[in-house]
């Protein structure tokens, strides 16, 4: 099971000042979910969590056999 956090592509910082009592120190307990279009509790179980897609690394360069002999 996945849990709500800022690693989700749908998560954003809460917009309201002191929405969750944290002010500017960022020890927050609320996250804005763009998919649900509402605030949710941080670390709440979330079956809709989507992680960013990983970009595969480029293929390794071939060494030798370049025909430049």
Walk along the chain (69 residues) and give the pLDDT tens digit of each residue. Answer: 788 888 888 888 877 655 655 555 556 678 889 999 988 888 888 888 877 777 778 888 887 655 555
Model pTM greater than 0.95?
no
Tell me: the pLDDT tens digits for 46-60?
888 877 777 778 888
Torsion of CA 15, 54, 46, 24, to 10 degrees: -30
Listed residue (34, 56, 54, 55) closest to 46, CA to CA: 34
């Amino acid at each position: 099971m996945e849990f709500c956090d800022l690693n989700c592509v749908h998560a954003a910082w809460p917009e309201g000042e002191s929405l969750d009592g944290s002010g500017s120190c960022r020890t927050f307990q609320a996250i804005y979910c763009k998919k649900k279009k509402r605030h949710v509790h941080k670390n709440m179980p979330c079956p809709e969590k989507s992680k960013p897609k990983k970009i595969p690394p480029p293929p390794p360069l071939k060494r030798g056999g370049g025909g430049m002999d």
